Structure 1
Amino acid sequence: MSTLLEQALALYAGLPAAERFHVHARASSAPLLAVAERVSGGIVADIGCGHGLLSALLALAEPSRTVHGVDPDPRKVTWAREALSGLQQVKLAEGTVEDVLAPALPRACDTAVVCDVLYLLPEAKWPAFLRTVHGLLKPGGRFLLKEVEGDGSWKHRKALAQEWVMVSLLRRTKASGGMVLKPRAEMMALLRDAGFTVREVVDLGRGYTTPHVLYIAEASAP
């Protein structure tokens, strides 16, 4: 485990066991460090921040950076605020990117990060969601979209089953959609339609039982 990840996880030591377990499970099952190391700039939006683990990594990696985290789950935001209370540069809010960040940070962010969020939304809302994220970014700003690839593999099917347990059975994850996982060609088309230029697609599934894929895109001028 990296020193940075150890420092971030240590912030959650005072939380109840169930919340600590959720954060540690997230740390071990998703390539958050690989995402964090590709973030640039001093103002970052972490959309769908959950317990705030990625926000913590981003703030600890660059103390001069301001991280704006938002999530619609009030329980997760409450625990995130408690765990990250010592990181003054992390600003956490309950709500959606449309209601909270879009009015407050138009064209203000150097990077926007969305990790494992899109599939939880109704598919019909994806284009508008991506356009809203585009509106947060400065011209040329970076968008990091980490999703599970819908490649038809056993890892794909396993990821869907796992999320069904978390969303429907345990109710540990808040969702309003049908848990759709798209192949990368469709995701790249969606990003282009929202005004992004896709610069790179990175496979991050090696060593994981989930087909993680990261889309690195750039916001065009409005």
Structure 2
Amino acid sequence: MSELLGKALATFSALPAAERFHVRARAFSAPLEAVARRAPPGATIADVGCGHGLLSALLALEDSDRQVFGVDPDARKVRWASTGPGRLPNVHIEVGTVEHLAAAREGQFDAAVVCDVLYLLPEERWLGFLSTVRRLLRPGGRLLLKEAEGDGSWKHYKCLAQEWVMVKLLRRTKAGGALALKPRETLQALLRQAGLEVCETVEMAQGYTTPHILYVSQVPGGPDTSR
């Protein structure tokens, strides 16, 4: 475990054991630290679908000059996030959707992170969702979108089975869609349709049993924020 991840997990020490276990499982099953390290330094960042706030904690602790605004429609998860990472001075957590955040803070963010959210939504909402995330960003603002890729591999089907248990059986995660995973070309096309330039597509599946993939895109105009 890295020092950064250890510090992030420590922010959840006041949570009940079941919630701490859930956060630790998330920490070791997804490359959230790698995503956080790709966010711009000193940036104002929207963590859309923040859940318990683990990624928000990583973003804030990796660079104390960042300001992180986490939003999630699940009031229960936001309550845990507020008790944990929400106590950090540069983290702000609230209940809401990306639409609510865009209405209040349109064009005010240097970056947005969206991790494992799209597959929980109906497919017909994906383009609208990404277009709304784009509205959060300033010209040149960066979007880090991490999803599991629908590549037909055993990891693909394992991921679907795991999420079915979390959503349908244990009801740990709320979903309004069909838990669909799509190939990278579909996500790249949607990002472009939403008005974003796709800068980089990064495979992050190595060492994990889920086909993680990161799409780095940005709003045209402004300074080039790609690394």
> TM-score, structure 1 length as denominator?
0.97
Q: Matched residue of 1:182: which SS?
A: coil
Q: How far did 1:85 drift?
A: 4.1
* 1:107-154, Cα deviation, whole Å (9 max, x unpaired): 111110000001000110111100000000011110000000000000
* 1:189-215, Cα deviation, whole Å (9 max, x unpaired): 000000011000000000000000000
Q: Is contact 2:44-2:111 (8 Å) kept? A: yes
Q: Matched residue of 1:172: which SS?
A: coil
What is the alpha-carbon distance in structure 1 between the residues aligned to residue 97 and residue 218 of structure 2? 22
Q: How far did 1:84 drift?
A: 2.1
Coordinate RMSD, CA, aligned:
1.1
What is the alpha-carbon distance in structure 2 between the residues aligned to residue 114 and residue 56 of structure 1? 14
Q: How far did 1:88 drift?
A: 2.0
Deviates more, 1:38-47 or 1:206-215: 38-47
* 1:158-200, Cα deviation, whole Å (9 max, x unpaired): 0000000000000000111111101001110000000011000
Letter in 1 for 2:60: A
Letter in 2 for 1:198: V
For residues 1-222 of structure 1, the aligned pairs below 5 Å read 1-40=1-40, 41-99=42-100, 101-221=101-221
The 4+ residue runs of structure 1 with deviation greater than 4 A are: none
* 1:43-92, Cα deviation, whole Å (9 max, x unpaired): 00000000000000111111121101001111100011001243121111
Q: Matched residue of 1:150: which SS?
A: coil
Identity %: 62
What is the alpha-carbon distance in structure 1 between the residues aligned to residue 25 and residue 59 of structure 2? 19
Letter in 1 for 2:211: P
What is the alpha-carbon distance in structure 1 between the residues aligned to residue 102 and residue 204 of structure 2? 29
Contiguous gaps of at least 5 residues in structure 2: 223-227
Q: Is contact 2:86-2:92 (8 Å) kept? A: no
Deviates more, 1:10-19 or 1:83-92: 83-92
What is the alpha-carbon distance in structure 1 between the residues aligned to residue 6 and residue 102 of structure 2? 32
Q: How far did 1:103 drift?
A: 1.4
Q: Matched residue of 1:209: which SS?
A: coil
Contiguous gaps of at least 5 residues in structure 1: none
Q: How far did 1:220 drift?
A: 2.2
